[in-house]
Amino acid sequence: MGLRLPSKVLEHILSFIDSNEDRNSVSLVCKSWFETERKTRKRVFVGNCYAVSPAAVAKRFPEMRSLTLKGKPHFADYNLVPDGWGGYAWPWIEAMAAKCPSLEEIRLKRMVVTDECLEKIAASFKDFEVLVLTSCEGFSTDGIAAIAATCRNLRVLELRECIVEDLGGDWLSYFPETSTSLVSLDFSCLDSEVKISDLERLVSRSPNLKSLKLNPAVTLDGLVSLLRRAPQLTELGTGSFAFQLKPEAFSKLSEAFSNCKQLQSLSGLWDVLPEYLPALYSVCPGLTSLNLSYATVRMPDLVELLRRCSKLQKLWVMDLIEDKGLEAVASYCKELRELRVFPSAPDLDEANIPLTEQGLVVVSKGCRKLESVLYFCVQFTNAALLTIARKRPNLKCFRLCVIEPFAPDYKTNEPLDKGFKAIAEGCKDLRRLSVSGLLSDKAFKYIGKHAKKVRMLSIAFAGDSDLMLHHLLSGCESLKKLEIRDCPFGDTALLEHAAKLETMRSLWMSSCFVSFGACKILSKKMPRLNVEVIDEHPPETRPESSPVERIYIYRTVAGPRMDTPEFVWTIHKNPEIGVSHLAIK
Amino acid sequence: MAYEKVNELNLKDTELCLGLPGRTEEIKEEQEVSCVKSNNKRQFEDTREEEESTPPTKTQIVGWPPVRSSRKNNNSVSYVKVSMDGAPYLRKIDLKTYKNYPELLKALENMFKVTIGEYCEREGYKGSGFVPTYEDKDGDWMLVGDVPWDMFSSSCKRLRIMKGSDAPALDSSL
């Protein structure tokens, strides 16, 4: 007689387990646990849409209510992945429509979504509630209109930094005339004007609306009128502030903001002039999140705003904040958890902003809860990195972009090896790391050895040789995503550590020295990896030893994909056959 | 080939290359050299000396710095070059620091130590001998002051202060 947990009991236990990592572990225990788990999983996450087939996912999780998918590699954000690469949502939507009609939520990141997809979603999922598209492209406002018109239970519609074919603001009028269930609406990435009266009426008949993010075309007058109708908002993305200030307009704006007593998150603020900032003062004490990264406000105007934000946990800002502004942040924003500082003039020859490594050092010293950093700076020092690591061992995400490629410690002229060693060693919970500046192979020895929990690592213009990759792939126990550009390593380390690649989600390499020959060997050795070469010319027209431009390697149980464009070559599993667009199993 | 022009960039031309395939030895040297070069060459812009055609700089590296295009387009501070006929070098100003025409004109007068005078709709800038003009998004040269300030500041690409004697064509066309 075997001891077996009745499936009903197991089901009940599993209803308390939300983490998919835990559920994945549960599903490995035995067949019956696998069965119970798969039948009860409601929230499905697929980190690489090509790692598994849509049909397999739909079949495995029949009770799916929420699907999250990611498509293109992260470096697509910086134009390193050519248009047409892939990441199509359609096969997924089609499969879910057929097998999981109770699907309620779809979240897609870096995928190609067409109007057809959106229309299919609207038509297929009767209880559809949540659509979040992040960095997606391929659809027009017509597709959005279809969602608005048909999804009667729509709660969340968010278009975050998508590239949308904007056919005008009519889509907004497609929401049902009756009261809506909208809780969150984000159309900040759209260009064209929506009729303010449509927006006013929509807001008025959406009593549950908590989050509203407008596009730059919405004027200040429009904003005032909307705030009057939705004083219950907790998240607001304003429209553009680039309009002439009239005295009575200012006081109206001020008053509208002061009536929003529950506002916690503020963003948008395109082109906000310093004179407008006082209108925001009333909401500052309640703010936990402030995104000023599109606001070209300089010092010292920023200080007056920031010193009122004592509850601030998340701050996104441009380097116009300068070291001085960051000193103010360190003094007043003691609850800060996340800081992102973007470059105001991304062209290198315009770099003359007084933001230095000291800004980040002072925030690291003053903000004890700081755990996530993204910092663009022209140059850095090892000493600064050591201080940051010492003061903030609780860092979970550290992304430093020294804008000058190969820039050494500007005080000692040494590589930044010691500094990043301190970060890797000191910040034991580090999950995400981006390195930059002058780095030798040694830096990667330290990172490989100490960064035990790092899951995502980004590297550019660094290292001396193959050793760098060898160190990383033989260490970094938790590594899931590795993306590298312009580093001088080649075939040896890659082939030596081929097995490691199957423990990872993906590896991206561009402008390195990996040869076509090595790609072939790797592909043959590792049948469960797709080795994709992105190259202008067929790799076969060059000698085997010549480096390929870009490689994307990912583990998959779905085999080679069938939707590769002209310039992507999946290395055939049988290397004698070579490469093809239609990779045959 | 579909890949030739992608995202309106000729990727081949603009891609940072560590050398031709096979040249591993030379590449390492180049790397070190460029390392030293970039250290010395980078300087903060205290001087505003500029030529009409600057050689391509490191800004040509594709996808670097790693900032999304939505950030690159919108929010860089709007510096425009300002030239004045007869002045030895160009200046640069950030249009966003001015709220209206009088402020801008005052700043230009201070910068170049000239009097430009006041704008008059019918006759432009009569009597001062200097005429402020600007190149707009369409590449046309316009008289500063004709359109509302916001429209001007978002479409102005560069400024040129013409000497009165060179600009009769502009004045008489009004």
DSSP per residue, A19-37 = -HHHHHHHHTT-HHHHHHH
From A529's Cα to the closest Cα of chain B, the distance in A is: 25
Residue B123 has pLDDT above 90, yes or no: no
Q: For residue B66, which amino acid is it?
A: P
From B145's Cα to the closest Cα of chain A, the distance in A is: 16
Region of poorest pLDDT, from A37-46, A323-332, B87-96? B87-96
Distances in whole angstroms, Cα of residue B5 to Cα of each of A223, B9, B12, B13: 41, 6, 9, 10
Are the beta carbons of B66 and A244 separated by less than 8 Å?
Answer: no
Q: Are the C-beta atoms of residues A310 and A333 closer than 8 Å to each other?
A: yes
pLDDT band, very low/low/confident/very high, at A243 (cuts 50, 70, 90): low
Which position has the higher pLDDT, A486 or A1? A486
Are the beta carbons of A566 and B79 separated by less than 8 Å?
Answer: no
Are the beta carbons of A77 and B66 separated by less than 8 Å?
Answer: yes
User: Which chain B residue is nearest to residue A350, measuring alpha carbons?
Assistant: B45
Domain contains B21:
no
The beta-carbon neighbor of A566 closest among B2, B64, B65 is B2
Of B91, B111, B76, B97, nearest to B46 (Cα)? B91
The beta-carbon neighbor of A161 closest among B63, B64, B70 is B70
Of A389, A386, A494, A402, nearest to A439 (Cα)? A402
Domain A1-41 has CATH 1.20.1280.50: yes
Mean pLDDT of the region A93-109: 97
Chain A CB contacts of B63 under 8 Å are: 75, 78-80, 485
User: Which chain B residue is nearest to residue A345, measuring alpha carbons?
Assistant: B76
Which position has the higher pLDDT, B93 or A246? B93
* Best A220, A349, A457 residue to mutate vs chain B (most B CBs within 10 Å): A349
Domain that holds residue B114: 79-163
State the average pLDDT for chain A: 93
Tokens found for residue A394: 């609780």
Q: What is the pLDDT of residue B71?
A: 83
Annotate B25-87 with DSSP letters as a single string.
Answer: HHHHHHHHHHHHHHHHH-----S----SSPPP-GGGSTT-S---HHHHHH-S--EEEEEETT-
Q: What residues form DSSP beta bridges with A483?
A: A458, A508
Are the beta carbons of A547 and B21 separated by less than 8 Å?
Answer: yes
Q: What is the pLDDT of residue A573?
A: 61
Residue partners of A183: CB distance under 8 A and separation at least 6: A155, A156, A208, A209, A210, A211
- Taking the CA atoms of B11, B14, B18 and B22 in sequence, report the sign of the dihedral they define: positive
Of A432, A458, A438, A328, nearest to A371 (Cα)? A432
pLDDT band, very low/low/confident/very high, at B52 (cuts 50, 70, 90): very low
Q: What is the pLDDT of residue B167?
A: 55
Residue A469 has pLDDT above 90, yes or no: yes
Q: What is the pLDDT of residue A585?
A: 29
The beta-carbon neighbor of A488 closest among B18, B69, B71 is B18
From A35's Cα to the closest Cα of chain B, the distance in A is: 43
Chain B CB contacts of A318 under 8 Å are: 75
Beta carbon pairs, A and B, within 8 Å: 144
Domain contains B109:
yes
Region of poorest pLDDT, from A23-37, A337-351, A569-583? A569-583
Half-sphere exposure in the Cβ direction for A556 (13 Å, CA): 23
Domain contains B171:
no
Instruction: Give the DSSP letter of residue A409.
Output: -
Are the beta carbons of A80 and B35 separated by less than 8 Å?
Answer: no
Indicate whether this complex's ipTM tops 0.85.
yes
Chain B CB contacts of A73 under 8 Å are: none
Q: What is the pLDDT of residue B163?
A: 86
Percent of chain A with pLDDT over 90: 84
Residue B122 has pLDDT above 90, yes or no: no
- Of the ranges A340-344, A383-387, A572-576, B17-21, which is most confident? A383-387
Q: What is the pLDDT of residue A273?
A: 79
Domain contains B144:
yes
State the Cα angle at B120 between B115 and B123, rounded to 5°.
95
- Of the ranges A101-105, B107-111, B124-128, which is most confident? A101-105
Helices (H), A293-367: 301-306, 322-332, 357-366
Chain A CB contacts of B44 under 8 Å are: 351-352
Percent of chain B with pLDDT over 90: 11
pLDDT band, very low/low/confident/very high, at A439 (cuts 50, 70, 90): very high
Tokens found for residue A133: 């598209």
From A294's Cα to the closest Cα of chain B, the distance in A is: 6
State the average pLDDT for chain B: 67
CATH code of the domain in which B133 resides: 3.10.20.90
Tokens found for residue B30: 């180049």
Number of domains in chain B: 1
State the Cα angle at A341 between A337 and A344, rounded to 5°.
160
Count Cβ atoms below 10 Å from residue B6 Cβ, excluding itself.
18
Q: What is the pLDDT of residue B125?
A: 84
Q: What is the pLDDT of residue B60?
A: 66
Region of poorest pLDDT, from A61-70, A145-154, A163-172, A423-432? A163-172
C-alpha to C-alpha distance for A93 and A175, rounded to whole angstroms: 22
Q: How many separate helices (H) and strands (E) can be counted in chain B?
A: 6, 7
Are the beta carbons of A488 and B7 separated by less than 8 Å?
Answer: no
State the Cα angle at A353 between A350 and A359, rounded to 5°.
140
User: Which chain B residue is nearest to residue A514, measuring alpha carbons?
Assistant: B21
Q: What is the pLDDT of residue A131?
A: 98
The beta-carbon neighbor of A296 closest among B64, B69, B96 is B96
The beta-carbon neighbor of A344 closest among B4, B7, B75 is B75
Mean pLDDT of the region A65-84: 96
State the Cα angle at A82 between A79 and A87, rounded to 5°.
100
Chain A CB contacts of B67 under 8 Å are: 78, 342-343, 346, 376
pLDDT digits (tens, 9 = 90+) for A104-128: 999 999 999 999 999 999 999 999 9
Mean pLDDT of the region A155-171: 95
Helix, strand, coil distribution of chain B in percent, nearest 5: 35, 20, 45
User: Which chain B residue is nearest to residue A83, measuring alpha carbons?
Assistant: B6
From A342's Cα to the closest Cα of chain B, the distance in A is: 8
Mean pLDDT of the region A273-299: 92
The beta-carbon neighbor of B76 closest among A82, A243, A344 is A344
Chain A CB contacts of B93 under 8 Å are: none
Please give the radius of gyration of chain B, using alpha carbons only, rounded to the nearest integer.
21
From B40's Cα to the closest Cα of chain A, the distance in A is: 10
Of A575, A569, A503, A502, nearest to A539 (Cα)? A569
Residue A413 has pLDDT above 50, yes or no: yes
Are the beta carbons of A346 and B76 separated by less than 8 Å?
Answer: yes
Q: How many separate helices (H) and strands (E) can be counted in chain A?
A: 20, 24
Domain contains B84:
yes
Q: What is the pLDDT of residue A25?
A: 96
